[in-house]
Structure 1
Amino acid sequence: MASGTGENSNKLKLYSYWQSTCSCRVRIALKLKGLDYEYIAINLLKGDQKSPEFLKLNPLGYVPVLVDGDIVVADSFAILMYLEEKYPQHPLFPNDLQNKALNYQAATLVSSNIQPLQNLPFLLSRYSQENLGPDEKVVWAQTHIPKGFAALEKLLENYAGKYATGNEVFLADLFLAPQIDAAVRRFNVDMNEFPLLSRINKAYKELPAFQDAMPVKQPDTPPEAKS
């Protein structure tokens, strides 16, 4: 495990992997809320997530994990809910109940129906290794990600403004930005089929909190991935 900012027991600690879209959601939230944190890199390719030290924090062995004093929270959705309750600055939800439900729905669509089909635990699983070649893994992602994006286009078409659910950044945007980035950067998904998502993704590129949280700007990003 490598720390990106040095030891400080008073800081929030985020156990993260540079390319994890789940970790990226939390990094965006921390930056939006102006919260200082210690970045602790977990190299998923080297198996850091299987270490006894990390498994004490999250027995499932997934990132991200947030440590806030004596409180340990694993899973990006749970972490975001925790941050929203304890650190209410820059709210992640609108006051309008319908819009709040829309944010939940969009976030869940990404976290439950898109991201699990292209994450490292699946791509490195025994099933994937035995049944899918390197090129087939890309085809797999290119098949399933667009299905989810098509659903998001329909879900948001009557509600999107500058961002996913209007003209303010909310929870849905924290899930969409990393997912779109991964689709383009890792899997070469053709975004021309998704004009709404492409438009709001351009808006994300204007927000420092989003861009500073992206995979290419993390302490553990390999040099070759930064170019």
Structure 2
Amino acid sequence: MSELVLHGYWRSGTSYRTRIALEIKGLAYRQAPVELRQGEQKSPEHLARNPQGLVPALETPDGVLTQSSAIIEWLDERYPDPPLLLGDAARRAAIRAMAMVVACDVHPLGNLRVLKYLRNDLQHEQEEIDRWSRHWISEGFAALEVLIGRHGGRFACGDTLTAADCHLVPQFYSAQRVKLDCSPWPKLVRAVENALAEPPVAAAHPDRQPDAD
């Protein structure tokens, strides 16, 4: 098998969720850090990999893949054991729904390029920007608390780590960075804490990456 190479950034939520998936699958991969703070994501070299100028990009036997949620689904199809989308059609839909709350409705509003626009172009103060992030994370977490109540077990959707946990854990990390009080969502917090206690998820934590500060 050709080497898997992850072009990402240690603190990026999308890179983090991709690492979790790779670690759960037990796949060997090499990290090629992209320093977002220095603008390396906009370099010609990286734009050739990902024309959006974003992370992650994953070099695979099938070519370079982008968009973390798509990468996670590719991993599940290419390396199906253990599955990240499992169960019947209804359960797989529930897993995807939880993942998409994060990937579509929460994370994009706290993406680095959005926060830089708020700071540099719209001249917002850092506390205003953090309040913006806390608001949108809270909206998503409130919905996820209900969904976890319906479908959760030890983790976000049952007693097995799934793609929902791959998305939820990094978003929780982002919530902590902006000092969001997560006590209103105890089911969500418990699911995240249980996931973080699992060795593959622990190995993917930003602080344990080679490019971490």
Partner of 1:211: 202
Note if contact 2:161-2:195 (Cα within 8 Å) is conserved in structure 1.
no
Matching residue within 90, 93, 104 for 1:101: 93
Q: Which amino acid aligns with 1:130?
A: D
Distance 1:128 1:134 in 2: 7
Select the residue among 34, 49, 57 that pairs with 2:41: 49
Q: Which residue of 2 aligns with 1:147?
A: 139
Instruction: Look up the match of 1:29.
Output: 21
What is the CA distance between 1:19 and its match in structure 2?
Answer: 0.6
Deviation at 1:70, TM superposition (A): 5.5
Q: Give the structure with the higher percent helix.
A: 2
Runs of 4 or more off by more than 3 Å in structure 1?
A: none
Total equivalences in the alignment: 212
Q: How much does 1:198 deviate?
A: 0.9
Q: List runs of 5+ in structure 1 lacking aligned partners.
A: 1-8, 223-227
Give the counterpart letter for 1:175 in structure 2. H
Q: After TM superposition, list the pairs within 5 Å mapping 1:1-227 onto structure 2.
A: 10-69=2-61, 71-125=63-117, 127-131=118-122, 132-184=124-176, 186-222=177-213
Which residue identity lines up with residue 205 of structure 1 in the other structure? L
Where does the alignment leave 5 or more consecutive residues of structure 2 unmatched? none
Amino acid at match of 1:187: V
State the secondary structure of the residue aligned to 2:36: coil
The 3-state SS of whatever aligns with 2:14 is: helix
**DSSP 3-state at the match of 1:151:** helix
Amino acid at match of 1:12: L
Q: Within 2, Cα distance between the matches of 1:152 and 1:70?
A: 33
* Superposed CA RMSD: 1.3
One-letter code of the match for 1:64?
A: P
- Percent same amino acid among aligned pairs? 37
The TM-score normalised by the length of structure 1 is: 0.90
TM-score (norm 2): 0.96
* Equivalent position SS for 1:23: helix
